[in-house]
Amino acid sequence: MRTQVGIVGAGPAGLLLSHLLALRGIDSVLVEMRSRAYCEARQRAGVLEDGSVRLLREAGVADRLDSQGLEHGGIYLQFAGERHHIDFRELTGGRTVTVYAQTEVVKDLIAKRLASGAAVHFDVTGTEVDELTSDRPVLRFTGADGVRHEISCDAIAGCDGFHGICRAAIPAELLTIRERDYPYAWLGILADVPPSTDELIYAHHHNGFALHSLRSLTVSRLYLQVEPDEQIGNWPDDRIWAELATRLGLPGSGWTLRRGPVLDKGITPMRSFVSAPMRYGRLFLAGDAAHIVPPTGAKGLNLAMADVAVLAPALDSLLHGDPALADAYSDTCLNRVWRSTHFSWWMTTMLHRTPEADEMEAELQLSQLRYVVSSRAAATSLAENYTGYSGPYRRTL
Ligand code: RFL
Ligand code: PHB
């Protein structure tokens, strides 16, 4: 079998890449180890940068996003018993973010790919990538029907997330890895209750960080900082709601947190990780396969989409004999990746309670928070990064 681009992973990166390539007349085969239903239900991100929304619109996959996405012009930062609004529109000359769940982005992309007859194989096993430094890299997998396939490609895109096989196929001595584990995790819930806020609340509290996000006007998404090795069994729903109410509460203000049935709950570790370069021969890594950030800055999904927006034209040129964009791919992406890695680290360390931190560190965090909400320059920096700072590089389809 033959295709132009073999793609491993049907997360946002792999699906969007497959679609962007199709718009350029390039065919791809996409393989995914999970079922379609699993990919469409996996609870993850919820916030799209301005540029990500524009990209989906230009790519013709934004009908539901435009009708159901909720545009947000700012966030609240809460600490020391006060809630402060950071107004993105005003600070950045009109830029916003859009609340639209990753599950919905994935559903929209899968529907679009399947409607155009694309080769998307779910439930595969035994994925392998080989001959990566040749002009004909090979993708092998066993389909859901048990038949083993070998596909000869012009290039392979490793969009298989942090635990995938593609990064591991690059000789370890060629990779520079930078990583940091944080001494806490997030316990996240999805709740069948209208949000108690008009915009996201990021709360720094003595008991730990809390975040009030949402999925729609009827479904809320909330997170609590917990111990890194915390067991979900220690957190019955009542305990979660009580702790959320404490950390998000504003005594004396009359604000209350609405409670409702918990639809989903889970614990996520917090890590920063960057692996460079994002290319080995004819294998190109994109999204979480190459880098992950702690979720505090809402950047992971947006970085995955930004990578493939750079990769699609680079592969197009490469396949037509011009390697310049493919050669620049890794550096182009890493510039943005490091900006988001720094921003996510900064938001994370400013807002979480560091276990065993001394009073000095606690005062430094509070000083930073007071600075962000009182200085226009500091607030603008947060707003510019949160809504998406793309640096000197222009995105094209
Ligand atoms: P994904 O989504 O992990 O997809 C990779 C796919 O590859 C498949 N796969 C394989 N397929 C075939 N063969 C193999 N050997 C394979 N190995 C793996 C996997 O099954 C999977 O389907 O990576 P991608 O596409 O790079 O997308 C990245 C995003 O999913 C991720 O960065 C975000 O979800 C991060 N994130 C957030 N990002 C944001 O931009 N805004 C947010 O608000 C935000 N909130 C979050 C988040 C991530 C979270 N968790 C659970 C990590 C909140 C949370 C709680
Ligand atoms: C989410 O809605 O899942 C979400 C929002 C903002 C973040 C992280 C996660 O910073």
Active site residue 85: no
- CA-nearest of 24, 29, 22, 32 to 2 is 29
What percent of the chain has a predicted confidence (pLDDT) above 70?
A: 98
pTM for the full predicted model: 0.96
386 catalytic? Reply is yes
Given a cut of 90, is residue 327 above it in pLDDT? Answer: yes
Q: Residue 392: which pLDDT band, with cuts at 50, 70 and 90? A: low
Q: Is the pLDDT of residue 395 over 90?
A: no
List ligand 2's pocket residues with C-beta within 6 A. Answer: 45-47, 200, 213, 221, 295-296, 298
Tell me, using a 6 A CB cutoff, whether residue 307 lines ligand 1: no
Query: Between 359-374 and 324-351, two packed helices, what is the crossing angle to 10 degrees?
Result: 110
State yes or no: pLDDT of 311 exceeds 50. Answer: yes
Q: No. of H helices and E strands in the chain?
A: 11, 20
Q: What is the pLDDT of residues 215-226, one digit of tens each?
A: 999 999 999 999
Is residue 163 part of the annotated active site? The answer reads no
In tens, the pLDDT along 120-154 reads: 999 999 999 999 999 999 999 999 999 999 999 99
Whether residue 88 is predicted with pLDDT greater than 90 in this model: the reply is yes
Position 249 scores a pLDDT of: 97
Question: Is pLDDT at 396 greater than 70 in this prediction?
Answer: no
Rounded Cα distance between 372 and 200, Å, is: 16
What's the pLDDT tens digit per position in 44-56?
Answer: 889 999 999 999 9
Ligand nearest to C-alpha 273 = 1
CA of 4 to the centre of ligand 1 (A): 24
Kind and range of the H or E element at 244? helix 237-248
Report CA dihedral (343, 362, 47, 240) to the nearest 10 degrees.
150
- CA 298 to ligand 2: nearest atom: 10
Active site residue 291: no
Q: How far is CA 118 from CA 3, 30, 83, 91, in A?
A: 11, 8, 48, 42
Tell me how far the alpha carbon of residue 312 lies from the centroid of ligand 1, in angstroms: 19
- Report the pLDDT averaged over residues 280-290: 98
Is 295 considered catalytic here? yes
Q: Whose CA is closest to atom 7 on ligand 2?
A: 298
288 alpha carbon, closest ligand: 1
> Does the pLDDT value for residue 299 go beyond 80?
yes
Q: Which of 8, 32, 36, 44 to mutate to test the pocket of ligand 1 (most atoms within 8 A of CB)?
A: 44
Ligand 1 proximity of 293 Cβ (cutoff 6 Å) = no
Summarised one tens digit per residue, pLDDT across range 108-122 is: 999 999 999 999 999
Q: Which of 295, 313, 329, 352 is catalytic?
A: 295
Question: Would the pLDDT of 393 be above 80?
Answer: no
Residue 120 near ligand 1, beta carbon < 6 Å: no
Distance (Å, rounded) from C-alpha 215 to C-alpha 68?
A: 10
Confidence of residue 397 (pLDDT cuts 50, 70, 90): very low
Pairing of strands 148-152, 138-142: antiparallel
Tell which phi-psi region holds residue 331, choosing left (phi > 0), alpha (psi between -120 and 50) or beta.
alpha
CA of 322 to the centre of ligand 1 (A): 31
pLDDT digits (tens, 9 = 90+) for 164-193: 999 999 999 999 999 999 999 999 999 999
- Exactly one of 12, 19, 72, 291 is catalytic; name it: 72
Instruction: Identify the band that residue 356 occupies on the pLDDT scale cut at 50, 70 and 90.
Output: confident
Q: Determine the Cα–Cα distance for residues 5 and 14; give it in Å rounded to an integer.
A: 11
Chain mean pLDDT for the chain: 96
The CA-based dihedral angle spanning residues 205, 294, 111, 50, taken in that order and rounded to the nearest 10 degrees: 80
Residue 202 CA: which ligand 2 atom is closest?
10
Q: How far is the CA of 11 from the centre of ligand 1 (A)?
A: 6
